Each structure stands twice: as C-alpha cells, then as structure tokens.
Amino acid sequence: MHANWALYCDNYLEGFHIPFVHEDLNSILDYGSYKTEVYEYCNLQIGYTDEATEVFNLPEDHIDYGKNVSAYYYWVFPNMMFNFYPWGLSINVVKPLDINRTKVSFISYVYDPSKLNEGAGSALEKVEREDEFVVENVQKGVRSSFYKAGRFSPTREQGVHHFHTLISKFLNI
Ligand SMILES: [Fe+2]
C-alpha cells in the first residue's frame, strides 16, 4: 500500500469512517453501539449488530452474554490486529517498507467454514480494499500544505488517541 504504516493503524483504530467508507459493513454493524476498550498496550473494538445476522454464540458466564457481537477487533501495539469473527480469526501484520509504503499480511484461521460468508466477517477483501483506498488518500491529504491536525473525537477515536500516546511514549516526544 502506498501509505505510511501508522496511517493504516489510525484507520483501523477508529470506527468513524465505517458509515462513509464501508457501505455493506455498515448495514451489518450497529454504529451507535460500536465500542472501544483501551488496555495498556492493546485495545479492543467491539462490533455489535442490529439485525439477526451471524453473531458469537457466547457462554452464559461471558461478559458479553446476551449481546449480539459480530466482531472483536483487537489491536496490539504497534502493528498487529487480531480480528475475531464467528467463523474464526483473521490476523493483520502491518510492516513498514519505507516512509510511505506498507505491506500488510493477512493470516486466517477458520474455525467454522459454514459461517465464512456471514456477518461482519464476510467480504473482508472488499472491506480491505475500501480501507486501502481511503488510507492512500489520507496519505495524500496529510502531505498537503493545507493539512492541520485536529482534535481527537472522545467517543469515536479513543483507539487512535491510545496509539498516538504510545508512539510518543516510545519515541520520548
Ligand atoms: Fe475500515
């Protein structure tokens, strides 16, 4: 991808863009209840669904029992993503090639093939292309002399803020 690796992570870490970039995924996820939980070196985004689509069959003692969870998106600092769907696990490994080129590797572990084409974990290739398209355009945008960093959204960008805080901590800036 022709973009900086951190922009790929930024994009992954916020659900803000879902209604604007991922039309199909947005019809599955309940944007209003999309949630981010921040831990020390990782964070979790939970995608709930508003329809009777494919969801996790969670045991009674699970913290999310009774909720319609269609995806758990775990990000581990600085460059790994573990995406859990009812069909299994998809891992993204983000490798910087140079300042504006990035290689993303995808590794899938299928637990239940019958659910592969259902819910938030379906059509991942399309969602990925949609993300790459916007991230490459963000790369152009941040290089523009008109670009100025804005504030983080406290409700939609906790994950991006977490990432940037960790980056500045590790770079001592
Ligand atoms: Fe996306």
Model confidence over 72-131: pLDDT tens digits? 999 999 999 999 999 999 999 999 999 999 999 999 999 999 999 989 899 999 999 999
CB count, 10 Å around CB of 39? 12
Q: Where are the alpha helices (DSSP H) in the chain?
A: 5-12, 18-21, 23-28, 124-142, 158-171
What is the token pair recorded at 113? 């093939």
Q: What is the DSSP string of 119-139?
A: GGGSSHHHHHHHHHHHHHHHH
In the CATH scheme, what is the homologous superfamily, with its name and number, of domain 5-171? Answer: Naphthalene 1,2-dioxygenase Alpha Subunit; Chain A, domain 1 (3.90.380.10)
Distance 17 CA to ligand 1 centre (A): 7
Average pLDDT over residues 154-167: 96
Distance 71 CA to ligand 1 centre (A): 13
In the chain, % helix, strand, coil (3-state, to 5) comes to 35, 30, 40
Distance 134 CA to ligand 1 centre (A): 9
